[in-house]
Structure formats: C-alpha cells, structure tokens
Amino acid sequence: MKDTERELADCVGAIYQAGAGDGSWFDVGERICRIMDARRALLILGGPGGPRNLLMPADGSETAYSDYFHARDPYAAKARYDFATARAYHLGNAKLGAELVAETELLRSEYYFDFARHHERRHVIGGMAGLTEATPILVSRGDDTGAFDETHVRLLKTLMPHVQRAIELRARLGRDDEAVALTRAALDALPVGVSVVDAGLKIRFINDLARRYLAGPDSGLFSLRSGPYAGSGVYLAAMSREEAGVLRKLVASATSGGSG
C-alpha cells in the first residue's frame, strides 16, 4: 500500500537536492512517475550539452523527441502560449492533457500519430514552471494504463511550487559557477600572484603564481590545511607570530571595508 504523503515529502526533498546539484534529477523523475502511476516524465532544461529531459535517461524516444518532436508537441506549444500570455496565472498550476489540448487535435497531430502513441504518451498531465520561458513538466502514460484523473492533478500541483524553486536555484547556482569561472580565468591571467582569503584566512582562490610563491623558500607565508581531508579547508598562515599578527590585522581591515 502506498504512503502517498511520505512519497510526496521524499520527492520534495529530492527536488531540492537536484536543484542544488547534490542529487539526481533522474531520481526525481522516478519518484514523480511512482507517485503518479506514470510511465514517463519530461522536464526540458538547458545545460552544457544543450536542452535535454532532466527527468529520464536518454533513450531512443528521448532522442527522437528532442531532435524533432519537441517542436511539434502540442502540449509544449500550449505551455509556451500560456506562459507568454498569462505567466502568473498558469505558474504552479497543473491540468489534465484534455484541458490543455483537445482530444481531436491531439489524435490527428503528427506528434501523436508518429510518436506519442508508440512511446507511452497517450495520456498526459502538464504542470507549469519556468523562468524566462515555459518549462513545463509533462507526465504521461500509455493507452493500456488509462487516463489520469483529478487526484493525479492535485498530486502534481502539490509538487509544482517546489519544482519552480528548484529550477530557480539551479539557474542561480549556474550563474554563480559561471561568475567564479570568469573570475578565476581573469586572476590566472594576471602577471602577479593573487590569493583571495576570507576573514578567517581560509583560501578561497589562489592563482598559479601565488601558489608557487607560497611553496618557495623565500616566502614568509604558507598554506596550512586544517584537517586530513580535502574539504577541511586550506588557510593562509605566516612563518612567525609577529607576521601572523600583521597578516590578521591586514585581512581584518580589508574585510571590514578598510584598505588592508
């Protein structure tokens, strides 16, 4: 017997873990399918290799969808229209497929005839998310399983605010990673040694010139690991007590807005 409330709570946790980069979006897809008694889940987002379905591993149907049928998917087209015309109204909402695309329109579409009916996408629920463009979750089943109902709609609607926040978190962390990479490249290109430390003297960044200087015999400073593991942290330290005091005063001045 399914414990739906527990499964929903576990799925919400998995969604935030995936958004933070600490968990698997595939795990999220499996959990959503289990909760919804669905066969497939779709969430197309961009990445290093281009847009892809985050919720399921790539297979023949996923490749065919991303290469050709995504542009012909009437549910995706409806999501784009709704997002463009009434984003605030639709964001976080979920609807049965028949409310999004009329059955007659779906059944005569190239998308359905050449693709969806062969890949367990006959019955659909769509949930709206997105930042600057529509990023819907589409959950589907084959004809043999039967249609979704309002119970399934409520389940997906429960998850959608968390999906939205996870997408926002993923985008923000991606921008932070890009900014760090650009900063690192700029500092590496400098003709002088540079090390960035926090108020506790933990080294946040060090370029190659500075690293070589700290390792050299004439340096009055050195790097000190606080523990046996790589994640323990590496700190800037001075050779003598007097120099250590001067170093702490300089860093304290800089981190409090002074000239350092």
Local confidence pLDDT in tens for the 260 residues of the chain: 478 889 999 999 999 999 988 889 999 999 999 999 999 999 998 766 677 899 999 888 888 888 899 899 999 999 999 999 999 999 999 999 999 999 999 999 999 999 999 999 999 999 999 999 999 999 999 988 889 999 999 999 999 999 999 999 988 887 766 666 666 677 677 777 777 777 777 777 777 777 787 777 766 666 665 544 444 467 777 777 777 777 787 777 776 665 55
Domains contained in the chain, CATH given: 4-177 (3.30.450.80), 190-255 (no CATH)
Biggest distance spanned by C-alpha atoms of the chain: 82
C-alpha dist (Å) from residue 233 to 224, 226, 230: 8, 6, 7
C-alpha dist (Å) from residue 172 to 21, 72, 129, 178: 11, 30, 16, 10
Contacts of 213-221 spanning 24+ positions with Cβ under 8 A: 221/247
Alpha carbon distance 97, 149 (integer Å): 10
Residues recorded for the chain: 260
- Read off the pTM: 0.67
